[in-house]
Amino acid sequence: MRRLLIACLFLAAPIAGAAGLAGSRPNVIFILTDDQGYGDLSAHGNPVLKTPNLDRLRSESVRFSEFMVSPTCAPTRSALLTGRHEFRNGVTHTILERERLDPKAVTVAQVLKMAGYTAGLFGKWHLGDEADYRPVARGFDEQFIHGGGGIGQSYPGSCGDAPGNKYFDPAILHNDRFVKTKGYCTDIFFEQATRWMEGVKGRQPFLCWLATNAPHGPYIARPEDRALYEGRGLGVDTENFFGMIHNIDENVGKLLARLDEWGIAKDTLVVFMNDNGGTAGVKVFNAGMRGAKGTPWRGGTRAISLWRWPGTLQPADCGALAAHVDVFRTWSALAGAQLPETAERQVEGRSLLPLLENPAAPWPDRHLVSHVGRWTKGSDYQEAKERNASIRDTRYQLVSAPQPARKGQPATPVVWQLFDLLEDPGQEKDIAKDKPEVVEALRSAYDAWWDSLKGQADLNEKAKGPELNPFAELYWRQFGGGPTAEDRERMNPDRAWSFESARARKK
């Protein structure tokens, strides 16, 4: 019975329809921003931020209003690439080798390559910085990436960027060698992706995965972009954050114009998404949601999801419960790819083709699980089962979030709260006592899912990273120099590490 429940929850359900889109083989441009929230779009009601090009893209797209992602960045990227929950890939954190994507996992880039596509990845990868984990080892033909979770970030073990990198003029790994670039990071990634697409278009269909590190912190915008939001009492971080999104917006506008110039707009699916809940913009506008990045609330896991394909997809809103795990099967179907048996066993998501063809198409209800992860490395992950987690269907979300600690009091026991998202989208009223049958059903589904993770969620728990970050080593090998004593101390994988100690050192 439990196996049957797991299958019902997480394996792709065959849904009729959309036969006309299957095998249509469009180019795919996937734009993924880092830490932009659902509310960080003027078309979603933001009273300060202006995003005219993204608003135009939205108006020309199928718009998924209930599209779920993971609470943080590496987990979402893992789920997008593999079509299954990040914990099944061993991705339970963003650092400490726990961001590394299971080497045995099949990626959507590999499947599209088997179907005759070429694939390039530009910007943020964040699924392993060692050579065997990088994009060119996972199905991409071209990579132009920074290391770690952000430009200039380095942590103990394998996760880290080239030494001394900043948002302006960063050293970027282009295939197997670093190039010293000039300009602002987001401009550089869009420009490089555009050059690559110009070189491959018309020869074979392509997947361009364009993942910006912006508007992730540190919040550093071009001065002219930040100036647009100064003097409004927003604070320096939010001024820069909105300025960074303005720059993304301008680059998206330029990219759409190039597709028209090349005459391939009608042959190209453009998908725009953000990777998790909002950050610096949440205090200005959060689309009426509770929570932000790093939380299991709706505000931490609801994403912008825009799918534009002129002449093929009719712009419309779609309220069906969809998720990042659905991307794999959707793109594979569009490419006409036959999934290898290993991928069929791996993929949990559904194909979105029925909804892309008809946003009002029948769509069976489902359960989607979110878990913040980030338990202490080396500890028993079972102890984190009910910590910062949620499970939801179309109507209800059951959330287990930390309770406020009371000074001098013992730890508060786990409290699961239930919310009716149709009646209470802001998750203000806990109705767990009123709906015990719903709580029981969701808890049972969650328990079955958790029990199915054995041998997967702890894949990277005992992994030990190298003494020095691979990006730093490669950089020094190419340009000379070497680590300082401070570098070695910061990168030492044997050193006890926590977010708290990192904040203290930063101060």
What string of DSSP letters covers 21-82?
TTT---EEEEEEESS--TT-SGGGT-SS---HHHHHHHHTSEEESSEE--SSHHHHHHHHHH
What does the pLDDT read at residue 412? 65
Q: What is the CA radius of gyration of the chain?
A: 22
C-alpha separations of 460 from 95, 148, 370 in Å? 11, 16, 19
Q: Is residue 475 a part of any domain in this protein?
A: yes
Whether the upstream peptide bond of residue 340 has omega within 30° of 0, thus cis, is: no
Helix axes 73-82 and 327-335, enclosed angle (nearest 10): 40
Give the up-direction half-sphere exposure of residue 379: CA atoms within 13 A in the CB hemisphere. Answer: 11
Type of residue numbered 156: P
What range defines the domain where residue 320 resides?
A: 1-10+27-507
Residue 328 lies in a domain: yes
Q: Which CATH number fits the domain that encloses residue 242?
A: 3.40.720.10
List the one residue out of 258, 330, 242 whose CA is nearest residue 64: 330
Residue 159 is assigned to a structural domain of this protein:
yes
In a domain? residue 115:
yes
Instruction: Determine, yes or no, domain membership for 19.
Output: no
Helix orientation angle between 236-262 and 52-59, rounded to the nearest 10 degrees: 50
Question: Burial, 11: exposed, middle or buried (Cβ in 10 Å; 0-12, 13-18, 19+)?
Answer: middle
Residue 244 half-sphere exposure, CB side, CA atoms within 13 Å? Answer: 29
Structure tokens at 443: 């808890």
Determine, yes or no, domain membership for 259: yes
Mean pLDDT by 10 residues, the chain (507 residues): 40 45 98 98 98 98 98 98 98 96 98 98 98 98 97 93 96 97 98 98 97 97 98 97 98 98 98 98 98 97 98 98 98 97 97 98 98 92 94 98 66 85 98 98 98 93 90 95 76 56 44
Name the domain count of the chain.
1
Contact present, 239 and 229 (Cβ < 8 Å) = yes
What does the DSSP 8-state code read for residue 89? G
Give the model's pLDDT for residue 5. 41
Residue 350 tokens read as 């559904």
What is the predicted pLDDT for the residue at 484? 78
pTM of the model: 0.93
